[in-house]
Amino acid sequence: MDASSCVRGAAHLADRVLGALRGSGCVGLAEFVDSCADATSGLGAVRLVGADVFLPHTVLDRPLSTGDAEVVAASMEVFPPVVAPATPEQRVMAWCDWTTARALARLSGDEPVAAPADPADVLGPAEDWARWSVRVAQLSSLAHPGAAGPVVDAVLAQPLALCRGVVRTVLRRDFGTATRLARWVGLLHAAGTPLPIDPGLLIEHVDLRVGAEPRRVLDLAVARHLVEATA
């Protein structure tokens, strides 16, 4: 697998998801993978975007086509999920994979999949909020409209640590991490949790500085949707 073409493919796929969210039609996963020069990299791109490929279905309530479900299942076959995560990175990957597999099972009407181990293993202590918030940012695909699960509950219980973390990333001018954290801020806002920062201002501030990378633009679109849905 070529890593750079995989990343490029993920950006292209995120752009297609954005288009579908803006009403340009369906994502067309099978068409996307067929358009990739290397099918393995194309399926890797599907794995990279993860559960976000289902956003048009969860947000706009569109049905999932059999072809799209087959592509996601094929991506999980070619790149098998981590069964026994040992490193922090593998733990993050296991939770992201679980979110994708869970969304696929829900939209396909299949049996729900079992969650990985304790969310504290992947997040670490919230007292160390700087490191904790970086892990939360890496798990941003779990923060989407209607999100639920052990990690979501754990993050929802720590609004102060999350806000400290997002302010730190903005002060560090790490707007990529800030966009991922903005999704969680939006989710907390949607859940009615009082926050010491204004989610709308945060999204505006980051939006002006993050650039046009489609995956980051998609993160901000999700955050904006979560905030505006509860405005």
User: Considering the complex, what minimum distance in angstroms separates the CB of residue 40 from another protein?
Assistant: 4
Q: How far apart are CA 226 and CA 46, in angstroms?
A: 23
Pick between residue 63 and residue 192 the one whose CB is nearest to another protein.
Answer: 63
- For the four alpha carbons of 230, 141, 155 and 168, in that order, the dihedral sign comes to negative
User: Considering the complex, what minimum distance in angstroms separates the CB of residue 145 from another protein?
Assistant: 22
Q: How far apart are CA 176 and CA 178, in angstroms?
A: 5
Pick between residue 7 and residue 113 the one whose CB is nearest to another protein.
Answer: 7
Pick between residue 50 and residue 159 the one whose CB is nearest to another protein.
Answer: 50
Q: How far apart are CA 125 and CA 73, in angstroms?
A: 34
Identify residue 226 by its one-letter amino acid code: L
Our finding on whether 117 is near another protein (CB under 8 A) is no
Other beta carbons within 10 angstroms of residue 212's beta carbon come to: 8
The single residue among 19, 79, 145, 167 that binds another protein, judged by CB under 8 A, is: 79
Our finding on whether 143 is near another protein (CB under 8 A) is no
Nearest Cα to Cα of residue 129 among 169, 172, 176: 169
- Part in contact with another protein (CB under 8 A); list of ranges 12-20, 56-64, 83-91, 219-227: 83-91
Our finding on whether 76 is near another protein (CB under 8 A) is no
Question: Which residue is associated with the tokens 């399926």?
Answer: 43
Q: What six digits make up the tokens of 183?
A: 């999704």
Other beta carbons within 10 angstroms of residue 203's beta carbon come to: 24
Pick between residue 100 and residue 158 the one whose CB is nearest to another protein.
Answer: 100
Q: At 109, phi and psi to the nearest 5?
A: 75, 25
Pick between residue 48 and residue 154 the one whose CB is nearest to another protein.
Answer: 48
Pick between residue 74 and residue 228 the one whose CB is nearest to another protein.
Answer: 74
Please give the residue ranges that form the binding site for another protein (CB under 8 A).
1, 3, 6-7, 10, 30, 33-34, 36, 38-40, 42-44, 47-48, 50, 67, 70-71, 74, 77-80, 82, 88-90, 92-93, 96, 134, 137-138, 169, 172-174, 176-177, 180
